[in-house]
Amino acid sequence: MKIIEGGVTAAQGFEAAGVEAAIKYQNRKDMAMVYSQAPCRAAGVFTSNVVKAAPVMWDKEIVEHSPAVHAVVVNSGIANACTGKQGYDCCRQTAEKTAALLGICADAVLVASTGVIGNQIPVEKLLAGVEKLAEAKEDSAEAGTRAAEAIMTTDTVSKQAAVQIELGGKIVTIGGMCKGSGMIHPNMCTMLGFVTTDAAISKELLQEALREDVVDTFNMISVDGDTSTNDTLIVLANGMADNPEIVCKNEDYYKFKEALNYIDTTLAKKMAGDGEGATALFEAKVIHAASKQDARILSKAVIGSSLCKAAVFGHDANFGRFLCALGYSGVQFDPEKIELYFENEEKSILIYKDGTAVDYSEEEATQVLASPAVRVLADMHMGDAEATAWGCDLSYEYVKINADYRS
């Protein structure tokens, strides 16, 4: 597996664009397009929220029933959620306009939105934006970056990743971009992710690989525990790498899955580290848990705790909060048996063992917690399962951003 530069345009035959359509109040890029020269198989996972945005309902239908997907059109600024029939019509008009301009079918067009919930998108601006996108799209890395920038809301950096593998003697590329911060626990500004690949793979296996992979990647991050109405992760595979089509779970399938896992993990961590107001990536790793599910629940409880997050922000080795979060997660364990460590890239400090604090150096612990990437490691001494979850610290800035998001 070779890590390369780029994003959604890294794989063969994919083009992208990012333009200003005046949907956001500032003069910022707010519409993106991903286009494949060849028809794609599409897989997707969507928000579990009962309140689903119009584009989520549109995309679920397309991913499940449409024979092929050719393009994705995204806007930021308004989420098109809680918008009733008018919101759904807006998706249809976007798809129809895109189809007419690109000479494809309307049911080959996916749409996605992110931004304020409850407002209607001005449809004329949206359709004018589609025209700009259709004209601007190209297969360069720069176009991929522009697309990644156009889907940002409160993100402070654009998020891309790409990787290459060899399957049956052919180079296969997977690239992706995302915005926001979460899938199961996303920031309300919504997690959107788009992964493109030139691999030839059956629709069923593409969907299965994606569904399995999100469990330990996008579903293991959290910024604030709020699951958005718009969360969407799409994978498009156009087969242009010309590899022997993956139609069963052979070696190629697992190589593909490993590469997909790299992309998903990389994008997921980028989202967690860029959580609203974050000053640090906050990782919780649980080892020797009784089951994989226990390990996931325990690690997510830690990164989801406001008090643990605030302790990381304050570089405060208040380790009781981390034990407390493990304790209320719902998983049973013996507090006397746990070991707790604070870690960064260079150091690992044992903090708690045998039911009480060990004689650690407060200064050293504070230093570790001041790192740009902080890890808390909990050794449960119960079994063989492990899991990692990613979040960020809780800062003044988070409150500021969210107390006045709309103005």
Nearer to a copy of itself among residue 49 and residue 261 (C-beta): 49
CB of 127 to a copy of itself, least distance (A): 21
Q: Is 372 in the site for a copy of itself (CB under 8 A)?
A: no
Residue that is written with structure tokens 């990782």 in the block: 283
The site map against a copy of itself for 228-247 (x = CB under 8 A) is: xx------------------
**Does residue 296 touch a copy of itself according to CB under 8 A?**
no
For position 153 contacting a copy of itself by CB under 8 A, the verdict is no
The answer to whether 222 and 184 have CB atoms below 8 angstroms apart is: yes
- Answer yes or no: are the C-beta atoms of 314 and 306 closer than 8 Å: no
221 vs 326 by CB, closer to a copy of itself: 326
Q: Total residues contacting a copy of itself (rule CB under 8 A)?
A: 65
User: Which of these, 142, 174, 146, 130, lies nearest to 40 by C-alpha position?
Assistant: 174
> Residue 406 in 3-state DSSP?
coil
- The nearer residue to a copy of itself, 107 or 339, going by C-beta atoms, is 339
Phi, psi of 245 (to 5 degrees): -55, 130
Based on its alpha-carbon atoms, the radius of gyration of the chain, rounded to whole angstroms, reads 22
Per CB under 8 A, contacts with a copy of itself among 72-91 are: 79, 81-87
Q: Give yes or no for residue 342 binding a copy of itself (CB under 8 A).
A: no
Choice from 331, 349, 376, 392 touching a copy of itself (CB under 8 A): 331
Tell me if 327 contacts a copy of itself by CB under 8 A: yes
C-alpha 239/C-alpha 215 separation (Å) is 25
Beta bridge partners of 116: 78
Active site residue 190: yes
- Which amino acid belongs to residue 123? V
Q: What is the DSSP string of 36-76?
A: EEEEEEEEEEE---SS--HHHHHHHHHHHH-S-EEEEEEEE
51 binds a copy of itself (CB under 8 A): yes
Determine which one of 9, 114, 153, 190 is catalytic: 190
C-alpha distances in angstroms, 138 versus 42, 96, 148? 21, 21, 14
**Site of interaction with a copy of itself (CB under 8 A):** 48-52, 79, 81-87, 116-119, 188, 224-229, 304-307, 310-311, 313-314, 316, 318-321, 323-328, 331-333, 335-336, 352, 354-357, 394-396, 398-400, 402-407
Q: Which residues are catalytic?
A: 190
